[in-house]
Every structure is written in C-alpha cells, then in structure tokens.
Amino acid sequence: MSFFATTSSAVGYSFLPRFQRRRTPQFTMVLRSDHSVSVDPITILTKLKDECATPTPLLQQVADAMCAQMRAGLAADGGSGLPMIPTYVHDLPTGNEKGLFYALDLGGTNFRVLRVQLGGKDERVVATEFEQVSIPQNLMFGTSEELFDFIALRLANFAAKEDGRFHFSPGRKREIGFTFSFPVKQTSIDSGILIKWTKGFAVSGTVSPIKDCKSSDLTRWEPPALSRPFLGKDVVACLNEAMIRQGLHMRVSALVNDTVGTLAGAEYYDNDVMVAVILGTGTNACYVEQINAIPKLQGYASSSGKMIISTEWGAFSNGLPLTEFDREMDAASINPGEQIFEKTISGMYLGEIVRRVLLKMAEVGGLFGKSVSQKLAIPFILRTPDICAMQQDNSGDLQAIRSLLYDKAGVESNLSERKTVLEVCDTIVKRGGNLAGAGVVGILQKMEEKSEGLIFGNRIVVAIDGGLYENYPQYRAYLKDSVKELLGTEKSNNVVIDHTKDGSGIGAALLAASNSMYKHNF
C-alpha cells in the first residue's frame, strides 16, 4: 500500500527525485512584513523539539491511558472510552479451509475484488487473482442502489473470468468476505449498520441528488442535506440485494474492516498473531479479546470464548504532546477535536504538520530568505512521502532535499536551511512513531490483564500493514524502539512486530471461508 492507500485508494509512492539545475523559481513570492516579530528558525525548532519530546515516562503514560480508555470502551458504548467496536469475529481461519472464496475491499475511491483458492492444511492458498476498480465520482454522491449495483456488476464480471486454476463445487453458492472500511456498528459477523460516510462519500438512500448535474459541475458540487439518507442501513443487505439484481449467485458471509482482515490474513500463517495495526493514510488497531473482558457484551456466547475488537484508536487523545501546529491543523480540519491520535501518527497528516512548521519559520524567521513562497502556504502541499524522501537523502549537500523543496513548495534553499528542514521532519516523525509504539504497548497491557501472564510470557505477533509503516524506515524504527523501551529487553524479545503487506483482502476471503455456511464440508 502507498501512504495514501490504507483504505483502498491508490496514490503512487514517490521516492527521491533527481536534482537538476534550475532557473529562478517561477512561483509567486511574498515579501515578509517588516512589522513582524523576527524569531530565529533555530528558536522555533528548539521549542518544537521540546513540545514533541516523547521521553519514556510520557510514553508510559500514553500506554497506560490507552489501556484505561480501552477498558472503559469495553464496559459501555458512548462513554469516555475508545469505541472498542465488537466485530463478532471469534472463529479465525484454522488452515483446514478449502474451496473458492471471494473478497471485496471497499474503503475509498477505488475498490478491489479478489478470488482465492484454498487447499487446506497442505496447500493453503493455492491461487489468487484480483482486480482494482475506480468508483465514478457521481456514484459517490448517488443512491445506495446505484453504488452497490455498480459494485455488484463489476464483481459479476470478475467472477465470470474464473479460469482453470479455480475450482468451484457444483451446487454451492459463492461466498465473499466484505471489507468495508467506513464507520459501522456491527451486529453480527455478516451484518452492520452504517454510522456515517467518510472519505468524500455522501450516498443517499433514495433519489440521487446529482442526477441532473452536468459532469463539469461535479468538482465544485457540495451535497445538500438529504431528507432520506443512507445512514442506518445494513451495508451487507445492500450488497446482497445488488448481487441478486445482477443475477450473481453469491452471498456475504463475513463483514470486516481492514485491520480485522489484516489480523486474519496474518494469523492464517502464524498462530501467534493477536494484534493488527494499520498505519497508512489513517490508522486503526484491532486485537483478540476474551469475551469475559467485554462487559457490554454480557451474555453473548462465543464458540471460542474470544472476539476480535476494533479499537478505533485514532480517536484517542489523552496526554499526547501537541504543539500549536497540531492545534491549528486540527482546527482547520473537517472534524476538529476528533481523531487526535490519528492526526498525530498517521500518513495523512505528518507532511502537513511539517509544512506548517516550515511556513512559520519562513514567515517570522526568514527561513528560505526574505520572501515567502505562496505555494508553501497551500495546505497539504507537502505530503508524508515527500518528507520521507527528504529523510532518505544521504548526500553531503542534501541536493535531493533542495530539489524536492523547490518542486513541492516553490522555495530555494541553502545547506543550512536544508539541515533545519531535515530536523523538523525527524522531530515530527519521531514523535509519531514513538506514540504509535506506545499505543501498541497499551493494547498489550490490556490483553495481559485477563491472560494471567500469557501475553508477556510468550511469543506474540503484532501484524502491521499500511504504506506509512512499509515505506518509512525512520518511522518504523522509532515505533520498534518505543515498544522495546517501554517493555524492556526481556518482554520485548517475545513481541514480534511483523509487516504484513496487503493482508486485508486475503484475510477477508479467509474469514468468508471460516464463517462459511458449508464449513462442515471442509
């Protein structure tokens, strides 16, 4: 996954650009005001480092607070804790599953369909195929029937292309695992009620609000308040009904989000996997919890005595080391006051925080000279892959950073300024990676409460997916260092942090298999 493909939207990951000799910048420059109070960039950097510092005691406080908020979220919905959403996944793949299963991964402006042939203990995953489909913009603002009919049609076309590598037992209905990475209140393994659309979607339940709009209007169209919105509908029922309308003999047997799919996909190959984390554009984490540790599910019967819980840890905010740049970014966001942990550690925001720091250094500290590039003032003009590329520049004169600053922000820079930029990037990324590690430790601490020493006393695997973790080596190192620092050498030696690439799609197919209506035939 790229940094911006955590939930299926695909944007390419950019590595170091080649430096080329350039003329004077062709970007609009604004002279700094003579009346502004001059603050040396190093002074701003020193304050930033102090406010972003994550010493061990602070990280332990974050881990403890995460654990406490998890406990509160398990006790009751709507309290002061994290959402801690029950997934109703308590039967993970065993390896005995056989047959042909499908997966549908919907979580952004693209969706992915997969088919997987499972061969049981001896053969495991025999063959896989997948196809990625872009969702037309008008369907993002259309009706639920239009959206799901489009998905079902492309799914039917994909299913029709089964070749000789895939074998389907006659008389069986094809089954599919549905990865739906929008907020859902799950009511069973194969049903869930939509809480809200995110990521630019505004799907209604009835008449399309843009049927009569011209395509040229779509880029500036804002969806009106809908009298009969899609909210409150069972997303699985909508997909099942659309598949029936398309004549597709298929049913959803498992509804999951991308973290749950990642856990299932990783656990299929390693039985010690008990936690999964997504670190990409956004972030979330799930883990295996004991049923008797979930008071809000009192009386619920689980065949395994366990259930995967989606923490929705992006909503965590207790005790985080925040700066003026974080607060300004949050205030300007579409959800101010929400998802603070996500805004501190995930790929959507790290580059933007760096940009805001550099803009202040330029405006009041004279970084990059007497004038300020207006391009640097554009929100999100610096993306997390850009600051990652800067941190990979090992050249003596940091020419790759010079090239990237020119291309992205419209500024020329000298070596001293480029070193300052590098320190800003490292400060923000170190804080993000360390806090993510503290979050992982908080989950492990919560699991230890009911395990009677089985977590820290045995091997446990944390599966992590997402472009931020995969492509940013400094971030990855800071996360691991944080976990080791908090747990100590002895305990941390039992904790394996494993990168699981693109596991959510396979995981969804595996969960379709483990929850199959035909599983007694395996």
Long-range contacts of 230-233 (CB under 8 A, 24+ apart): 230/143, 230/144, 230/194, 230/197, 230/203, 230/204, 230/205, 231/194, 231/195, 231/196, 231/197, 231/205, 232/193, 232/194, 233/144, 233/193, 233/194, 233/205
Asked if 258 is an active-site residue, the reply is yes
110 neighbors 505 (Cβ within 8 angstroms): no
Indicate the SS3 state at residue 105.
strand
- H helix runs in 53-187, sequence order: 56-75, 120-123, 137-140, 144-159
Q: How far apart are CA 92 and CA 514, in angstroms?
A: 6
311 neighbors 287 (Cβ within 8 angstroms): yes
Catalytic entry in 49, 173, 185, 199: 199
75 neighbors 98 (Cβ within 8 angstroms): no
Residue 82, phi-psi category: left (phi > 0), alpha (psi -120 to 50), beta (remainder): beta
User: Is residue 168 exposed (0-12), middle (13-18) or buried (19+ Cβ within 10 Å)?
Assistant: middle
Amino acid at 377: A
Q: In whole angstroms, what separates CA 323 from the centre of its chain? A: 23
The strand order across the sheet containing 250-256 reads 125-134, 110-119, 98-106, 174-180, 250-256
Catalytic entry in 258, 326, 330, 502: 258
C-alpha torsion sign, points 399, 405, 407, 413: negative
Count Cβ atoms below 10 Å from residue 20 Cβ, excluding itself. Answer: 9
Asked if 306 is an active-site residue, the reply is no
Q: In whole angstroms, what separates CA 79 from the centre of its chain? A: 24
Count Cβ atoms below 10 Å from residue 343 Cβ, excluding itself. Answer: 25
Per DSSP, the residues of 373-392 read: EGGGGSTTSS-HHHHHHHHT
285 neighbors 439 (Cβ within 8 angstroms): yes
Per DSSP, the residues of 169-180 read: -TTPPEEEEEEE
302 neighbors 294 (Cβ within 8 angstroms): no
The contacts of residue 391 (CB under 8 Å, 6+ apart) are 422, 425, 426, 429, 472, 474
The residues carrying an active-site annotation are: 199, 258
